């Protein structure tokens, strides 16, 4: 009986993301004592991770899932440790014994959970202080840090231009490793998960009823000025003249603030305004400071 038939007739597919990050991903990417991990490293832009040694008595790799640095550290190795318990789904470190250089890979993964581009970007932004602490304490260069979202291709397409963090898709992993071992059990599990995506993905509402996409202010301005922004209006409690937007602009916090946006030509209510007006307000404040 095929795996597809078993999933249809016996136990249904596990929809938990921890199953895919804690079981499916390692069983594919880390199989045979990390023999095929360099292939994944190529996919994320690291063409020379060095030799990976899997012998636990003489190894140079640490591989974790659901890794919370705050809850793991018990000594003084991380003096600037943040208090946040942000937890990348997958985290691994490779140490090149020849030159002592190190590579740190952190993945925030989604499968059937369906966040907005802004929500996922905000989650990854909150992980950055943790990763910066690790890099600082363990002397890992910024070139050695790979922080990516691992998501289905359909979700990436839903984001359109509203997501600016590096991305690798589950489909790319499936297709790449299928060429190496096409009859692998866990690759077929991933394949079945992706085939059933439309049926199993969460159908919950992602935004407020008037919001199509959440985008950080800096990205709104960059896309607007480049003529690439499809959204026409944006929202903030109190509207264009409200205290919250005023504080955003005066403090400079607007660059990292997530705003609800919509492609509608007409503001939905008093909390909504045209993006061009937002850009004009930013420029006015900037000119007054010169």
Residues 251-277 have pLDDT tens digits of 999 998 999 998 888 888 889 999 999
Looking at the structure, tell me whether residues 141 and 41 fall in a common domain: yes
Looking at the structure, tell me whether residues 17 and 132 fall in a common domain: yes
Residues 6+ apart with CB under 8 A from 109: 17, 20, 21, 25, 89, 90, 149, 150, 151
What tokens were used for 144? Answer: 């050695």
Q: How many domains does the chain have?
A: 2
Looking at the structure, tell me whether residues 186 and 94 fall in a common domain: yes
Eight-state DSSP code of residue 273: E
**Structural domain includes residue 290:** no
**Structural domain includes residue 28:** yes
**Structural domain includes residue 207:** no
Looking at the structure, tell me whether residues 247 and 172 fall in a common domain: no
**Structural domain includes residue 289:** no
Residue 44's domain comprises 3-200
pTM of the model: 0.71
CB 109 within 8 A of CB 89: yes
Looking at the structure, tell me whether residues 233 and 188 fall in a common domain: no
CB 244 within 8 A of CB 238: yes
Residues 146-205 have pLDDT tens digits of 999 999 999 999 887 778 899 999 999 999 999 999 999 999 999 999 999 999 987 644
pLDDT band at 234 (very low <50, low <70, confident <90, very high): very high
């Amino acid at each position: 009986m095929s795996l597809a038939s078993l999933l249809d007739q016996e136990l249904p597919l596990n929809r938990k993301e921890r199953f895919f990050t804690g079981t499916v991903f390692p069983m594919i990417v880390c199989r045979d004592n990390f023999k095929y991990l360099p292939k994944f490293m190529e996919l994320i832009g690291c063409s020379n991770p060095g030799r990976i040694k899997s012998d636990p008595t003489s190894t140079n790799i640490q591989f974790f899932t659901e890794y919370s640095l705050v809850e793991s550290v018990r000594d003084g190795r991380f003096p600037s440790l943040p208090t946040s318990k942000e937890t990348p789904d997958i985290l691994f470190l490779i140490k090149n014994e020849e030159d002592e250089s190190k590579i740190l890979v952190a993945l925030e993964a989604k499968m059937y959970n369906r966040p907005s581009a802004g929500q996922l970007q905000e989650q990854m932004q909150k992980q950055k202080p943790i990763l910066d602490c690790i890099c600082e304490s363990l002397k890992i260069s910024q070139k050695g840090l790979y922080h990516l979202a691992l998501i289905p291709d359909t979700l990436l397409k839903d984001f359109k231009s509203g997501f600016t963090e590096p991305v690798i898709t589950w489909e790319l992993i499936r297709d790449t490793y299928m060429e190496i071992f096409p009859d692998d059990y866990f690759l077929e599990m991933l394949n079945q998960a992706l085939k059933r995506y439309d049926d199993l993905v969460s159908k919950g509402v992602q935004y407020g009823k008037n919001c199509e996409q959440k985008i950080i202010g800096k990205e709104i301005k960059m896309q607007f000025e480049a003529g690439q922004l499809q959204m026409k209006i944006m929202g903030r409690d109190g509207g264009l003249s409200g205290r919250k937007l005023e504080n955003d602009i005066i403090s400079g916090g607007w660059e990292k603030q997530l705003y609800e946006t919509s492609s509608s030509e007409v503001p939905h209510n008093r909390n909504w305004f045209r993006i061009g007006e937002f850009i004009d307000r930013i420029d006015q404040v900037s000119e007054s400071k010169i």
